[in-house]
């Protein structure tokens, strides 16, 4: 469902207090013509468990990233 302004969209979201905004499959068109929607203000249980399972080894610090890029010849 797409609303033509944020006010109508926010009224729709408020009329469904039992659901998160991400579960409503609705959006609105902003003043610049972009399609927007509210994000979930709380994480779903599935996302919480996914984040807990994420390995810190899979992340890279900014310093390490800069070193890798310089090694590849990219100017920063």
| Sign of the torsion formed by the C-alpha atoms of 38, 14, 43 and 46 | negative
Mean pLDDT of 25-42: 88
Q: Is the whole-model pTM more than 0.75?
A: no
Count structural domains, the chain.
1
55 found inside a domain: no
- pLDDT tens profile 5-28: 999 999 999 999 888 888 899 999
In which residue are the tokens 């509210």 written? 38
Long-range contacts made by residues 5-11, C-beta under 8 angstroms, separation at least 24?
A: 5/29, 6/30, 6/36, 9/37, 9/38, 10/38
What are the backbone angles phi and psi of residue 64, rounded to the nearest 5°? -65, -40
Domain that holds residue 28: 1-43
Q: What is the pLDDT of residue 50?
A: 84
12 found inside a domain: yes
Q: What is the pLDDT of residue 54?
A: 79
């Amino acid at each position: 469902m797409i609303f033509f302004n944020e006010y109508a969209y926010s009224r729709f979201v408020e009329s469904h207090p039992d659901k998160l905004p991400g579960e409503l499959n609705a959006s609105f068109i902003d003043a610049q013509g972009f399609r927007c929607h509210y994000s979930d203000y709380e994480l779903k249980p599935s996302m919480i468990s996914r984040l807990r399972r994420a390995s810190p080894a899979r992340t890279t610090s900014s310093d390490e990233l800069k070193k890798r890029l310089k090694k590849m010849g990219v100017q920063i």
